[in-house]
Structure formats: C-alpha cells, structure tokens
Amino acid sequence: MSRSEKTFKPSEVSQHKSDKDAWLIIDGGVYDVTPFLVNHPGGKKILLNACGKDSSKQFWNFHSKKVYNKTAAPLLIGKVEHEEQAKL
C-alpha cells in the first residue's frame, strides 16, 4: 500500500493540529504539512488554523493548481475515510 492509499478517519485527522504534527484535508486527501509550516508564505499561524479539518475551501481560495502540484501534492499521506465508509 502506498502512502496515498492509506485512509484516515476525520477524527484521526482532527488530532493533528500542532506545530509538531500538522495535518489537513484537501479534496479528500490527507496532507502532513508539518515540514512546510516554517516555509508557508502566509505564516505558520494561518496554516495551523487550517489543520485538523477539511480545508479545501480555504486552500483553493488562495492557491492555484500550480501551487498545489508544487507544494501540497508531495505532502499527501493518504485519503480521508468518509463516515459512510467508516460504518461498513
């Protein structure tokens, strides 16, 4: 199983919102943005406020597909498990 095939429950992602362990969800993908916190052009605090939850809307409001491919895509660690899947 590759890193991007791993699934995480939303409740698991919600536990990762510190400057030592920061995850967020973009379009169903789970991203570990911890190594990018110090390099985020908007500052670490803004990125940390988006962590632990689905931040798709915020991400796409400020970033292009080019930024996604260059910066976010390499940080993909898996997919979020939807609640319906979790109940199966």
Domain 3-81 CATH class label: alpha beta
Question: Is the pTM above the cut of 0.75?
Answer: yes
Query: What is the C-alpha separation between 64 and 15, in angstroms, rounded?
Result: 27
* Beta pairing class for 17-18 and 76-80: unpaired
Going from N- to C-terminal start, the domains of the chain cover 3-81
In the predicted structure, residue 83 carries a pLDDT above the cut 70: no
Tens digits of per-residue pLDDT, 1-46? 455 589 999 999 999 999 999 999 999 999 999 999 999 998 999 9
Query: What is the C-alpha separation between 44 and 42, in angstroms, rounded?
Result: 7
Rg (Cα) of the chain, in Å, rounded? 12
pLDDT of residue 67: 94
26, 64 contact by CB (below 8 A): no
